[in-house]
Amino acid sequence: MKEAIRVTNVTKSYNLYNKPIDRLKESLSIFRHKSYHHDFKALNNLSFEVEKGECFGIIGTNGSGKSTILKMITGVLTPTSGKIEVDGKISALLELGAGFNMEYTGIENIYMNGMVLGYKKDEVEKMIPLIEKFADIGDFIYQPVKVYSSGMFARLAFAVAIHVQPDILIVDEALSVGDIFFQAKCYKKFEEFKQLGKTILFVTHDMTSVLKYCDRVMLLNKGDFISCGKPKDVINIYKKILANSYHPELKKKVSRKVKSNLWKSRLALNPNPQIYGNGAAEIVDFGIFDDSGELTNSIYQDTMINIKMQVRFNETTFHPIFAWKLKTDKGMEVIGTNTLYEEIDLEKVDAGSLYVVTFHFELPLVANQYLLDLGVTRYEGDDLIVLCRNHEITTIDVLTDKRSVGLVNPHCTIEIEKE
């Protein structure tokens, strides 16, 4: 077999019961064979192949079947039907804590994991200094892992996974709890693995990591295969799924006929937003559109973006100010503007009027997830009056395959000359 992993027509079904007693009724229905359950397909007739030496990403919304297929590849779950073939030794980080005994120390867990993979005690002993150095958790490695923070656990788990010399490394969101320096070290190890001809199967919600490190990406949705190919092409389809605008059975021109009052219903929204103001105006709808006009929460770095908001005025208002800003998850304001700064003035708007305001600009930020604030205000003398403010109403995910530090893409040109 030339592939590292081959999945052929795999289906995983579960019996779901409406009430706990239905399970008992079905087990007792020996002669009538009456069914009290309905089938739920976590995966439906899935087929794909992973080439040796490639970093293969799997993306999709929660419940799409990503973790299910990883567990079947590693043997934790058994397919209901279909076939899975694996060529090589697997090391997997399926979830925080998987494969570790919480009562054992870090050292004891290293021995246990190594021996489960077929290594002798003296072979594991040779790995321990490398694992200790990479994990960098100090004397905690001699403490029971039940006292570890999530970050310590991730460090040790990843250090063990990469130093047991696997042919195939499987990672399922396990790196999201580590700090930025540890994540950088892990991704550097990813690249070393690829150069050594190792195979990486990578499940994550971080689309920037997918763009940077994956050779190919597969998209799943509700257990079904949607697409597989180059990261950017597949992510573009995923963006449509997130915005509820993926309708392959419809023509594109039909699927994009969307009324403005559906904009926000198709975005990922804050479930507990802070919306406040004096009620003189109301932001009744808003949307984020990429450079192709698609409604989405994800925008590629240095591409055009349109932030639209639809505002209804409940009272006659003089000189309203329309504003937006993006912030980090720690509340640091990164970028934003308003119609006052841009010297755009509506002298008077009548009660009952409806306006759509569009902010059109090129997004210069580095890859990250940013919180979006929208607002309508005005001044009474020196006092700023908030008519309506939507605080941290949604997010904008900036995607790029470029590396940089800070918050803004420096667009740096570098020249090196030998004197």
Q: What is the CATH number of the domain that holds 333?
A: 2.70.50.60
Same domain, 117 and 216: yes
Token code pair at residue 248: 């392959």
Number of H helices, E strands in the chain: 9, 20
> Regarding predicted confidence, which is higher, 378 or 245?
378
Find the range with the poorest average confidence among 149-158, 309-318, 393-402. Answer: 149-158
For residue 224, how many other CB atoms are within 10 A of its CB?
15
- Tell me the pLDDT tens digit for each residue of 24-65: 666 766 666 677 666 788 999 999 999 998 999 999 998 899
Tokens of 87: 């060529």
For 222, the token pair is 């509700």
Token code pair at residue 67:
């973790």
Quick one: average pLDDT of 65-80? 91
Q: Distance between CA 106 and CA 141 in Å, rounded?
A: 5
Tell me, rounded to whole angstroms, the distance of Cα 276 from its chain centroid: 30
**Residue 288 three-state SS:** strand
Could you tell me if 188 and 157 are in contact, meaning their C-beta atoms sit under 8 angstroms apart? Answer: no
Instruction: Determine, yes or no, domain membership for 246.
Output: no
Task: Give the CA dihedral 238, 239, 243, 245, nearest 10 degrees.
Answer: -70
What six digits make up the tokens of 234? 């597949």
pLDDT band at 249 (very low <50, low <70, confident <90, very high): low
SS3 call for 97:
coil
What tokens were used for 365? 């930020």
Shared-domain flag, residues 227 and 353: no
Q: How far is CA 26 from the centre of its chain?
A: 39
Rounded (10°) CA dihedral 223, 228, 234, 235: 60
Asked if 50 and 131 sit in the same domain, the reply is yes
Gap between the Cα atoms of 202 and 223, Å rounded: 17
Q: Do the domain assignments include residue 406?
A: no
pLDDT tens for residues 197-234?
A: 889 998 988 888 888 889 999 999 999 999 999 999 99
Res. 260: pLDDT tops 50: no
The domain that holds 87 is classified in CATH as 3.40.50.300
Domain containing 115: what range?
3-240
Q: Is 357 part of a structural domain of the chain?
A: yes
Residue 236 and residue 266 in one domain: no
Residues 220 and 324 in one domain: no
Is there a domain that residue 417 lies in?
A: no
- Check if the beta carbon of residue 386 is closer than 8 Å to that of residue 276: yes
Based on the domain organization, do 15 and 126 belong to the same domain?
yes
- Residue 258, pLDDT score: 40
- What is the residue type of 47? S
- Pair (210, 341) in one structural domain: no
Cα distances (Å, whole numbers) of residue 372 to 297, 309, 386: 10, 12, 17
Element (H, E) at 180: helix 180-195
- Among 115-124, 265-274, 291-300, the least confident range: 115-124
Q: Does residue 307 form part of some domain?
A: yes
Residue 67 lies in a domain: yes
Most confident of 39-53, 110-124, 126-140, 298-312: 298-312
Above 70 in pLDDT, residue 121?
Answer: yes
Across the chain, mean pLDDT equals 87
In terms of domains, do 209 and 64 share one?
yes
What is the spatial distance between Cα 233 and Cα 164, in angstroms, rounded to a whole number? 34
Residues 234 and 263 in one domain: no
List the single range of 68-72, 126-130, 208-212, 245-249 with lowest mean pLDDT.
245-249
Position 361 in a domain:
yes
Assess whether 318 and 355 both reside in one domain: yes
- How far apart (Å, rounded) are the C-alpha atoms in residues 57 and 359? 34
Cα separation of 396 and 29, whole Å?
53
Helix (H, G, I), strand (E, B) or coil at 214: coil
Residues in CB range of 82: below 8 A, 6 or more apart:
7, 8, 9, 10, 11, 45, 46, 47
Q: How many domains does the chain have?
A: 2
Beta strand 55-59 pairing with 216-221: parallel
Q: Are residues 225 and 313 in the same domain?
A: no
Q: Are residues 231 and 318 part of one domain?
A: no
pLDDT in tens, 138-192: 999 999 988 988 778 888 888 888 888 888 988 887 655 566 677 777 778 878 8
pLDDT band of residue 252 (cuts 50, 70, 90) is: very low
What is the dihedral sign for C-alpha 243, 249, 252, 253?
negative
**pTM of the predicted model, to two decimals?**
0.75
pLDDT at residue 115, as a whole number: 82
Q: What percent of the chain has pLDDT over 90?
A: 50
Residues pairing with 169 in the sheet: 91, 200
Mean pLDDT of 278-304: 94
In a domain, 411, yes or no: no
C-alpha to C-alpha distance for 71 and 77, rounded to whole angstroms:
5
Does the pLDDT of residue 304 top 80, yes or no? yes
How sure is the predictor about 1, in pLDDT bands with cuts at 50, 70 and 90? low
Least confident of 20-24, 106-110, 216-220, 391-395: 20-24
